[in-house]
């Protein structure tokens, strides 16, 4: 890698929190290049500049969100506009002009701070929907370094974008990146559809899009987990992860309590399974659902709905020595989680829309290969694009999910083993270490700015590195090349 890696995300990993797969995967690239991770931190710090937190093998620079930025940029535009819109829940979008204004001003403020530390040969890797316009503002600041974006959530449908006052801004923001990384090929197709509808965009045979004076490459990079590390967690989680009362037979669900995860239908389907199929069998559904974004109204509503549904189903079916749904509305330690996954006869993932869904991969990774449990996976999770041998279900169809629970719990060992082997191959192929390498290699290979630039803002004057324009072709050839 030429220069340093600079990762920018909404939140910076902190010592207190367990390191997630992404932080683990980026550790080597950051440490090896004297890299920097930049993100928001709850600590009080100076308002206009980045401040350093902690010691470590790479630098961590934090910025602070004001109360108003937290409300309008984070809760507002990021989580009451972009999150529902990108997850096909336009009905939950709340439009307020202050949301967009502060989303833009935070991104501009952050770009100014990042521009202070960035050098022309750095690679800047921006993460997720909170920071879509960051590259646009970095370019305004004259930053010429290569900038990539990875979007962890689904790319929206063109029709859904039209509920925004100015849907065309997305094409503009995103074209300031050199590389747009999306989770799936379906996301890539939706992104290309957006550019196809925009007369400012031209398409090239190598899969890039020319927009004004820039070339942007759009490609899918399905994210995965740190397979070996997660398997080790399950191996070393000794004893009974439940404590005293381990259920005999159980199905596991693990999700941040979010309306995109299809939890009410999951509970209904389990209730229907108990009614129609269980026949004397007494499996439990262990649902771990730590709270997130509770101050947003839509999250309050779903919390109430789940309490009501689990109460009703347990009231109807529970016995003195059996609780059908164990609904745990708080986080569980990661090593216990790995042990709980391993003992589950099935895992239920019922997302109505989901960028990837790492829970599906974690579950498969820790199964015992000669006696594995069965993954029941929504066809609307990104993971379904590769894990085609999971039991794929339509999460809107409660009957179908109830039937899939029955199929999973009665599946012969031979079929379980074959399905698991196939899903495990997908988990291995997308290991987060490989994923990081693929993304960074594609970013290094990306084309960047075209020769036609005026370069008037070009602080790092990289115009000398311009490349010839690729041959322009008709769009229908392009789709095949991606």
C-alpha distances in angstroms, 390 versus 381, 423, 426?
A: 12, 7, 11
* Closer of 256 and 438 to ligand GDG (Cβ): 256
Q: Which of positions 313-332 make contact with ligand GDG (CB under 6 A)?
A: 331-332
32's enclosing H/E stretch is: helix 21-32
Q: Which of positions 220-249 make contact with ligand GDG (CB under 6 A)?
A: 223
Separation between Cα atoms, residue 145 and residue 162, nearest integer Å: 32
State which of residues 357, 378, 436, 447 lies at the interface with ligand GDG (CB under 6 A): 357
Per CB under 6 A, 359 contacts ligand GDG: yes
Please report how close the Cβ of residue 168 comes to ligand GDG at its closest, in angstroms: 26
Please report how close the Cβ of residue 320 comes to ligand GDG at its closest, in angstroms: 28
Pairing of strands 346-349, 374-378: parallel
Name the token pair of 398.
Answer: 């409660």
DSSP state of 253: E
Out of 152, 187, 255, 420, the active site residue is 152
Per CB under 6 A, 256 contacts ligand GDG: yes
**Residue 73: exposed, middle, or buried by beta-carbon count in 10 A (0-12, 13-18, 19+)?**
buried
Separation between Cα atoms, residue 370 and residue 386, nearest integer Å: 22
Q: Phi and psi at residue 285, in whole multiples of 5°?
A: -100, 115
Helices (H), 118-157: 134-140
Q: Is 121 a catalytic residue?
A: no
Per CB under 6 A, 443 contacts ligand GDG: no
Per CB under 6 A, 427 contacts ligand GDG: no
Name the token pair of 432.
Answer: 């987060």
State which of residues 138, 229, 257, 358 lies at the interface with ligand GDG (CB under 6 A): 358
* Closer of 170 and 439 to ligand GDG (Cβ): 439
Q: Which of positions 47-106 make contact with ligand GDG (CB under 6 A)?
A: none
Cβ atoms of residues 4 and 124 within 8 Å: no
Q: Is 152 a catalytic residue?
A: yes
Per CB under 6 A, 151 contacts ligand GDG: no
Separation between Cα atoms, residue 417 and residue 412, nearest integer Å: 9
Residue showing tokens 């801004």: 169
Cβ atoms of residues 214 and 457 within 8 Å: no
Stretch that binds ligand GDG, among 262-270, 358-366, 442-450, 458-466 (CB under 6 A): 358-366
- C-alpha angle 349/354/358, rounded to 5°? 60
Please report how close the Cβ of residue 212 comes to ligand GDG at its closest, in angstroms: 29
Out of 178, 187, 255, 354, the active site residue is 354
State which of residues 145, 153, 226, 432 lies at the interface with ligand GDG (CB under 6 A): 153
State which of residues 40, 82, 288, 344 lies at the interface with ligand GDG (CB under 6 A): 288
* Closer of 195 and 439 to ligand GDG (Cβ): 439
Please give the positions annotated as active site: 152, 354
Chain residues that interact with ligand GDG, rule: CB under 6 A: 152-153, 223, 254, 256, 288, 290, 331-334, 337, 354-359, 362
């Amino acid at each position: 890698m030429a220069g340093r890696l600079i990762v920018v995300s909404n939140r910076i990993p902190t010592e207190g929190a367990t390191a997630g797969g992404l932080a683990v995967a980026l550790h080597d690239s950051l440490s090896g290049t004297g890299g920097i991770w930049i993100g928001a931190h709850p600590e009080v710090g100076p308002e206009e500049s980045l401040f350093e937190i902690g010691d470590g093998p790479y630098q961590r620079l934090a910025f602070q969100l004001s109360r108003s930025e937290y409300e309008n940029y984070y809760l507002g535009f990021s989580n009451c506009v972009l999150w529902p819109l990108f997850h096909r829940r336009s009905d939950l979008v709340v439009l307020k002009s202050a949301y967009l204004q502060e989303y833009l001003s935070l991104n501009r403020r952050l770009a100014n701070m990042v521009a202070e530390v960035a050098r022309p040969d750095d690679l800047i890797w921006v993460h997720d929907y909170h920071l879509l316009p960051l590259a646009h503002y970095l370019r305004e600041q004259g930053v010429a370094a290569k900038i990539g974006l990875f979007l962890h959530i689904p790319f929206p449908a063109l029709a859904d974008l039209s509920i925004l006052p100015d849907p065309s801004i997305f094409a503009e923001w995103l074209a300031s990146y050199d590389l747009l990384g999306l989770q799936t090929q379906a996301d890539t197709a939706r992104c290309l559809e957006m550019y196809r509808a925009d007369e400012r965009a031209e398409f090239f045979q190598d899969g890039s899009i020319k927009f004004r004076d820039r070339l942007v490459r759009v490609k899918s990079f399905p994210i995965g987990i740190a397979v070996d590390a997660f398997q080790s967690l399950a191996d070393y989680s000794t004893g009974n992860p439940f404590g005293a009362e381990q259920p005999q037979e159980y199905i596991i669900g693990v999700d941040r309590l979010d309306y995109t995860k299809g939890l009410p239908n999951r509970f209904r389907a389990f209730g229907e399974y108990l009614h129609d199929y269980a026949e004397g069998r007494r499996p439990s559904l262990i649902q771990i659902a730590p709270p997130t974004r509770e101050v947003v109204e839509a999250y309050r509503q779903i919390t109430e709905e789940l309490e009501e549904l689990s109460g009703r189903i347990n009231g109807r079916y529970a016995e003195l020595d059996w609780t059908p749904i164990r609904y745990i509305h708080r986080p569980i330690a990661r090593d216990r989680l790995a042990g709980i996954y391993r003992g589950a006869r099935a895992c239920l993932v019922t997302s109505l829309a989901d960028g990837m869904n790492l829970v599906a991969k974690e579950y498969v990774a820790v199964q015992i290969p000669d006696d594995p449990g069965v993954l029941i996976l929504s066809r609307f999770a990104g993971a379904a694009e590769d894990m085609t041998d999971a039991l794929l279900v339509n999460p809107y169809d409660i009957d179908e999910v109830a039937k899939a629970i029955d199929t999973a719990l009665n599946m012969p060992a031979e079929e379980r083993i074959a399905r698991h082997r196939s899903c495990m191959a997908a988990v291995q192929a997308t290991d987060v270490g490989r994923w990081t390498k693929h993304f960074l290699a594609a970013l290094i290979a990306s084309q960047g700015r075209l020769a036609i630039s005026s370069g008037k803002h070009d602080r790092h004057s990289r115009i000398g590195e311009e490349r010839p324009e690729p041959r322009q072709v008709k769009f229908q050839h392009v789709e095949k090349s991606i």
